[in-house]
Structure 1
Amino acid sequence: MNGLYDGEFAGYKIASPAELDTALREAVVAVDANVLLDLYRFSPRTSSDLINTFKSLGDRLVVPHQALREFWRHRQRAQGSPRGATKTATDALAKAARSMNDTLGIWAKAVGFNQGDLAGLTGEVNALVSSLQEKLQQVLAHADADRVGDPILEQLEELLRGRVTSPLADEEHASCVAEAGRRIAAEIPPGYKDAGKQEDGSADGGAGDYLVWYQATRYAQEHQRDLLIVTRDEKEDWWWRQGAEFIGPRPELSLEFQSLTGRRLFLLRPTDLLARASVLEVDVDEESSADAGRLSSYLEELEGVRPATWTLEELAVLLVELDAHAPPQAAALRLATSGPVVRCSEVSALGDDPEGTVLVTFVRPCDRLTATLKEQGLLHPALPKIFRFSRREGVWCFVVPEEVPALLRTLAAN
């Protein structure tokens, strides 16, 4: 006879606060890439508190090799995130000022308002917006002053010395990538929410989350300990959620880990970890947990609510860079004026041949320039790739986002 949590039901056991505290004191604690990257996005105080919390874990701290790989892949973008966010905010304020001034102008004509008095009103709008923009720049400058050089990298070098798992052998890595593909197709956690990354041209495609999971679970198995994963990822392929409440790991993940190791799995977000830091006898500022929670909410909103669409201004900026540094890619992009799908044969007619293995490398200049412009704050960080490659009706094609052809026609008309 079995009990409530025996056999296939083991994954449904919800961790109590006391069990979470015990896990913090005893389990292997694996840190995901997004947490390391967020150290650049948090306030200096919050970053310091989180690093001190990690230090208190001693040799129980581990970073899966795949997580560190993703950290280096995206570090510059995260480092530039505060500047990008500030530029986005200042640009939005300028746009709001123009909108208010236009509205006042239309109103003034409708009611016969004196143009001299109108100038006074628009002057008040412009003065307010300029003051707000200046304050945003002051906040950014203050944060930058606290981070002369790269103190985050300096602290991570010391913190992670000897704490990163070894890379997988080529055969084992290939096997994991294949398993990740199978899971994505069957919607088996973790990582199936990253299905869109399978065609992004990277070596791992959509396998990143599964590789982190595989390396963390094997490390915990080798050390015969429970596993606590700290991640800012809030998607349903990691978390068992009820509305806005994070109950714990997906039951499938808990069951898989229990079947593999006989141990328990726990998940915490950075905001939760900081709230429980006293368990590790670490003093953190009471605002640090709230700061981490605010960033998580902002990034979730950015990824899930704001439509990730190109604007006319952003496309124009990218085309200027492509014309200067990657003319073949600029010419190929302009072929999308009539529709979002461009056949490789059309690009070949321009004098380039992106067939076969060159197909992946042809889009890389676009990816590099887009990433650089995002780091500089000239493009919104949530924008999708300008080019994806896909096979349509047996023919290799380049595909641009749906909104791009109309924007290209507008640019051409101007």
Structure 2
Amino acid sequence: MNGLYDGEFAGYKIASPEEVDSALREAVVAVDANVLLDLYRFSPQTSNDLIKTFTGLGDRLVVPHQALREFWRHRQRAQGSPRGATKTATDALAKSGRSMTDNLTTWAKAVGVSTSELSTLTTQVDDLVNGLQQKLQQVLATADADRTGDPILDQLEELLRGRVTSPLPAEEHADCVAEANRRITAEIPPGYKDAGKQEDDSADGGAGDYLVWYQATRYAQEQGRDLLIVTRDEKEDWWWRQGAEFIGPRPELALEYGGLTGRRLFLMRPTDLLARASVLEVDVDEASPADADRVVEDEPPAKWTLAAVARLLELLDRQAPTHAEVLRLATSDRGGRVSFDEVRVLGDYSDDEEGIFRFNRAYRHLTVVLENEGLIAPFSPAIFALRRGPEGSYFSVPDEVPPLLDALARS
């Protein structure tokens, strides 16, 4: 006879606050790449407090090799994100200022306001916009002054010395990528929500999350300990959620780790870790947990816009016309899909998938250009992602893109 949490139901056991505190004191704590990258987005105080908390974990801290790969791959853009965000904000203020001036001019003509009166009003708009833009630049300059050089990298070099798992042997890595692709197709956590994320040049595709999971769980298994993963990822392929409440890891993940090790799995966000830093006898600023939470809440939605898609097609038409032709096929009537064979024929590639991944590099390269131009948010979903389904491989675009392609085709 079994009980409430036996067998297949073991993953539904919700950790008590005392159990979470115990895990912080005793479990292996694995840190995901997004947390390391967010050190560049937090305030200097919050970043220092989080690194101090990681230091308090001692030799129980670990970074999966795949997480560090992703950190180095994206670090340059993350490091520049405050500057990019400031440019986006100042450009938006300028656009708003022009719109207000145009509206005032239209209004003045309608009600017979004199030229001098209109000039006074538009000057006030200009002063307001200029003042706000200058304030944004001052805040950015202060943040830059606090981060002369790269103190975060200096601290991470010391913190992570001997704390990163070894790279997987080639055969084991290939097996993991295959397993990740199987899980994506079957929507088995973790990682299936990132099926459309940008592929890297090693053709891992959407396997990144599963590689992090695999390396973290196998390391914790070797240590014979519970596992606590710190991640800023809040998607449902990691978390068991009820509305805005984060209950714990997906029951499937808890069950998988329990079956592998006989131990328990815990999940924690950076804001939660900072709030519990006292468990490790680490003092942090009382504002740091809220600041870490603010960064997540203020993150712009990673979605493509009409302006971004139009600009991408403009660049593709000049630099890679075949890629533009292929992308224009992903319209609403096709469900945003382009078959593997269509890409192979139009792109004049062989049947191997390595050639298809090489084909995708033009999209990835120009996506970075759009990020630098402020047209899309950093780490936006891949515009053209390889997927594998029961009926074969195909490419698809994010859900918001087909209507945009439709609109551009009509214009």
Q: Within 5 Å, which residues of 2 pair with 1:208-357?
A: 208-299=208-299, 302-303=301-302, 307-311=303-307, 315-316=310-311, 319=314, 328-329=319-320, 331-332=321-322, 335=325, 340=330, 353=348, 357=354
| Separation of aligned partners in 2, 1:337 and 1:63 | 37
Tell me whether 1:370 sits opposite 2:367 in the alignment. Answer: yes
* Alpha-carbon distance, 1:212 to partner: 0.7
| Separation of aligned partners in 1, 2:394 and 2:18 | 55
Q: Within 5 Å, which residues of 2 pair with 1:102-181?
A: 102-181=102-181
* Alpha-carbon distance, 1:359 to partner: 3.9
Q: Within 5 Å, which residues of 2 pair with 1:59-138?
A: 59-138=59-138
Q: CA-to-partner distance for each residue in 1:190-244, whole Å, 9 max, x for gaps?
A: 1111122387765211111111111111111100000000000000111111111
Q: CA-to-partner distance for each residue in 1:111-147, whole Å, 9 max, x for gaps?
A: 1222221121111111101100110111111111111
In 1, are the aligned partners of 2:327 and 2:384 still within 8 Å (CA)?
no
* Alpha-carbon distance, 1:283 to partner: 0.8
Amino acid of the structure 2 residue aligned with 1:264: R
Amino acid of the structure 2 residue aligned with 1:75: R
Q: CA-to-partner distance for each residue in 1:331-359, whole Å, 9 max, x for gaps?
A: 445657976579669967xxxx5555544
| Separation of aligned partners in 2, 1:293 and 1:108 | 45
| Separation of aligned partners in 2, 1:108 and 1:23 | 66
Q: Within 5 Å, which residues of 2 pair with 1:375-386?
A: 375=372, 377=374, 379-381=376-378, 383-385=380-382
Amino acid of the structure 1 residue aligned with 2:110: A
For the residue of structure 1 that corresponds to 2:127, the secondary structure is: helix
Amino acid of the structure 1 residue aligned with 2:239: W
Give the CA RMSD over aligned residues.
3.0
In 2, are the aligned partners of 1:65 and 1:166 still within 8 Å (CA)?
yes
Q: Percent identity?
A: 69
In 2, are the aligned partners of 1:232 and 1:270 still within 8 Å (CA)?
yes
Amino acid of the structure 2 residue aligned with 1:157: E
In 1, are the aligned partners of 2:37 and 2:78 still within 8 Å (CA)?
yes
| Separation of aligned partners in 2, 1:390 and 1:258 | 30
Relative to 1, partners in 2 of residues 1:346 and 1:298: Cα closer, same or farther, differing over 3 Å?
same
| Separation of aligned partners in 2, 1:199 and 1:74 | 12
Gap runs ≥5 in structure 1:
none
Amino acid of the structure 2 residue aligned with 1:164: V
In 2, are the aligned partners of 1:389 and 1:399 still within 8 Å (CA)?
no
Tell me whether 1:8 sits opposite 2:5 in the alignment. Answer: no
Gap runs ≥5 in structure 2:
332-337
Q: Which TM-score applies when normalising by structure 1? A: 0.86
Q: Which TM-score applies when normalising by structure 2? A: 0.86
Amino acid of the structure 1 residue aligned with 2:224: Q
- Deviating above 3 A after TM superposition, structure 1's stretches of 4 or more consecutive aligned residues are 197-202, 314-320, 331-348, 353-359, 375-380, 382-391, 393-402, 404-410
In 2, are the aligned partners of 1:64 and 1:216 still within 8 Å (CA)?
yes
* Alpha-carbon distance, 1:295 to partner: 0.7
Relative to 1, partners in 2 of residues 1:168 and 1:302: Cα closer, same or farther, differing over 3 Å?
same
